[in-house]
Amino acid sequence: MAFALNTYPITYRSQFTDGKWSGEYLEKPHKTPEEEAAMNADDRVRLENSRNYYDDMPLVNYTSQYGLACFEGLKALPQKNGGLAIFRPDQNAARFARSMTGLCMPPFPEELFMEAVTETVKRNAQLGFTLKYNSDWEKDSYMTADSVYIRPFTMGEGGIGVNLSIEPYVMVITTPVSAYFKPGRSDALVTDKIRATPNGTGWIKACSNYVISALAKSEALKAGYMECVYLDATDRKYIEEGSSCNIFFYLKSGELVTPELGDTILPGITRASIIELSRDKGLKVSERKISIDEAMEETKECFVSGTAAGATPLTSLTYKDKKAVFNDGNEGDFTVDIRDTIKGIQYGKLPDTKGWLVQVI
């Protein structure tokens, strides 16, 4: 399974009208998962794709015309002892509300967010659309493990003028996914493109931020790299993020560094969790500026983090005509250890001492 779209049948939809949110669960055509698996591939794909179409929503809207929208990404993880649990959904609920407020939309209430994501996962599971734990995932510390990806997002109401969205929709879809990055080669290219500028939307999980990501990442892929890394817009020398994930440098000195939050960095929930777990391990963790020169000279291990990315190693960085290879091109011990810890908690192999999991089934 890849990081691909195969929408489960039940979707949540709400719209802010008459000063309130009115939500509903929509059920799209489906058979049982076993019957769908037995269908010929073309028919199955047609059925799965049909679940992604809605003909009762406005075509010309502030999202389709001007990219005014934001989203979240979170996962329901099959638990080692059975069932499914969502990792820190309260954090996504809070960030979604902040993102919507940042885009001058009425924020989606956090308690409604919690209910919509858990209920969407649960209702699909009741139809049989869910995943089971596989102990083979432990062999590569969950690099290639599956999960139910939950994608809440906003969509603008109909309109053609450049305008704010005051009556947005909020949708929640779910889809099974596997690894976002292919395990193996993981060279990264420092791109000239700029993801976010001061006083812009970099701190918001705004859909429009990902336009540059798609462009920069496709350039990197074409040039034979797996990932791209951005520098800041002002000095053009401080590292900011990977294509759609935060970034960490485990330095030769033993310090773990990640760029400090500001208005150009996305406040990642995996980022915050890795910081906390690394501090628990006794590491010196700094949220500070790190220049490309320091990163290239002083790094022992580098990895990107995110809901989709997990903790994926970058084994080299190429900037202009210089290439720095980390840990002889191999994934380092710290990266494996921190991924083992966070994924172990997420999949219920390690105890959830922080109360980060919300059990759904």
Please report, as ranges, the residues that interact with ligand COI according to CB under 6 A.
73, 210, 244, 306-309
Burial class for 291, CB neighbours closer than 10 Å (0-12, 13-18, 19+): middle
Of 168 and 306, nearer to ligand COI (C-beta) is: 306
What's the closest the beta carbon of residue 266 comes to ligand COI, in angstroms?
Answer: 9
What's the distance, Cα to Cα, between the start and end of the chain in Å?
Answer: 22
Of 73 and 176, nearer to ligand COI (C-beta) is: 73
What's the closest the beta carbon of residue 12 comes to ligand COI, in angstroms?
Answer: 18
Of 4 and 223, nearer to ligand COI (C-beta) is: 4
Task: Look at residue 234 and give its three-state secondary structure.
Answer: coil
Of 130 and 244, nearer to ligand COI (C-beta) is: 244
What's the closest the beta carbon of residue 31 comes to ligand COI, in angstroms?
Answer: 29
What's the closest the beta carbon of residue 312 comes to ligand COI, in angstroms?
Answer: 11
d(CA 326, CA 314): 8
**Closest CB to ligand COI belongs to which residue?**
73
Task: Look at residue 48 and give its three-state secondary structure.
Answer: helix
Of 226 and 309, nearer to ligand COI (C-beta) is: 309
What's the closest the beta carbon of residue 211 comes to ligand COI, in angstroms?
Answer: 11
Six token digits for residue 78: 């099959």
Angstrom CA distances, 42 to 4, 6, 48, 193, 302, stand at: 16, 13, 10, 39, 41
Six token digits for residue 186: 């993981």
**Within the chain, where are the H helices?**
33-38, 41-50, 62-66, 89-102, 110-126, 209-222, 269-280, 292-298, 333-346
